[in-house]
């Protein structure tokens, strides 16, 4: 039985690295188009999210192909051959596939998005749009910063008290486990734990990936994640 999104033959799914260059919308768009084309996504098929660390989710179709949807941290499509693309450095990109309704979605979940419960917001739209049964839902999570390398302020930690063990007090400050928060939120909306796959690579540790926390770049250096169902 299928339990991983990456095992679905009709799904194209990936995440760039340092070698592919920065994928920031303003300054890295040529890199992005080139990288996605290498992976078989043509420019007029791809819808790009203009991230804002918010919780807006957009439902898109072929008519948005080639466009940037501003102020949006999540994209959903029920159509084949519509590629979804968005960036991350240390945050999570969460990709979702419904094996019955054939919808795909991707959203960007960092500290602020998770504190605002973007997982719940995404799945509210997901359920309304694709009328899916959560048992048919497969989730794959991009490389992200691990708990050992992610410290936050006392005030930022307040937003995470409702998720057990999300914050850990250590000698060097409060560490936040973004992956644990995401997993707890996914389980709470009804995703089966067996259907959740994490890429365990830590962006901070893995030199082939950009990390904001590690590099503090003057101009943004970001990976792009993509997701498309082919037909």
Q: Is 210 in the site for Zn ion (CB under 5 A)?
A: no
Q: Is 199 in the site for Zn ion (CB under 5 A)?
A: no
To Zn ion, the closest distance from the beta carbon of 117 in angstroms equals 24
Q: Which residues of 149-175 are buried (b: 16+ CB within 10 A; e: fewer)?
A: ebbbeeeebebbeebeebbeeeeeebb
Q: Is 201 in the site for Zn ion (CB under 5 A)?
A: no
The residue from 123, 204, 210, 212 that contacts Zn ion (CB under 5 A) is: 204
Q: Is 202 in the site for Zn ion (CB under 5 A)?
A: yes
The residue from 89, 115, 146, 209 that contacts Zn ion (CB under 5 A) is: 146
Q: Candidates 49-57, 71-79, 143-151, 180-188 — which segment interacts with Zn ion by CB under 5 A?
A: 143-151
Q: How far is CA 125 from CA 117, 199, 214, in A?
A: 13, 25, 34
Q: How far apart are CA 110 and CA 92, in angstroms?
A: 6
Tell me, by CB under 5 A, how many residues bind Zn ion.
6
72 close to 49: Cβ distance less than 8 angstroms = yes
Q: Report the Cα–Cα distance between both ends of the chain, in Å, rounded.
A: 22
Residues near Zn ion, by CB under 5 A: 146, 148-149, 202, 204-205
């Amino acid at each position: 039985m299928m339990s991983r999104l990456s095992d679905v033959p009709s799904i194209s799914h990936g995440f760039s690295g340092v070698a592919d260059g920065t994928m920031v919308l303003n300054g890295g768009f040529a890199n992005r188009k080139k990288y996605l084309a290498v992976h078989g996504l043509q420019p007029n098929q791809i819808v790009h999210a203009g991230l804002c660390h918010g919780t807006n989710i957009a439902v898109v179709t072929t008519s948005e192909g080639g466009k940037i949807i501003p102020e949006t941290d999540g994209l959903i499509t029920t159509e084949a051959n519509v590629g979804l693309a968005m960036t991350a450095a240390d945050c999570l990109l969460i990709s979702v596939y419904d094996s019955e309704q054939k919808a795909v979605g991707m959203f960007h979940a960092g500290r602020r998005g998770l504190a605002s419960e973007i997982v719940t917001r995404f799945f509210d739209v997901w359920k309304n749009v694709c009328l899916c049964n959560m048992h048919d839902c497969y989730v794959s999570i991009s490389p992200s910063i691990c708990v050992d390398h992610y410290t936050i302020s006392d005030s930022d930690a307040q937003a995470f008290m409702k998720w057990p063990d999300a914050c850990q007090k250590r000698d060097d400050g409060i560490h936040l486990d973004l992956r644990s928060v995401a997993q707890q939120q996914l389980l709470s909306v009804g995703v089966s734990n067996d259907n959740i796959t994490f890429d365990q690579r830590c962006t901070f540790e893995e030199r082939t990936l950009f990390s904001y926390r590690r590099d503090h770049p003057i101009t943004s250096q970001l990976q792009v994640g993509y997701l498309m169902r082919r037909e």
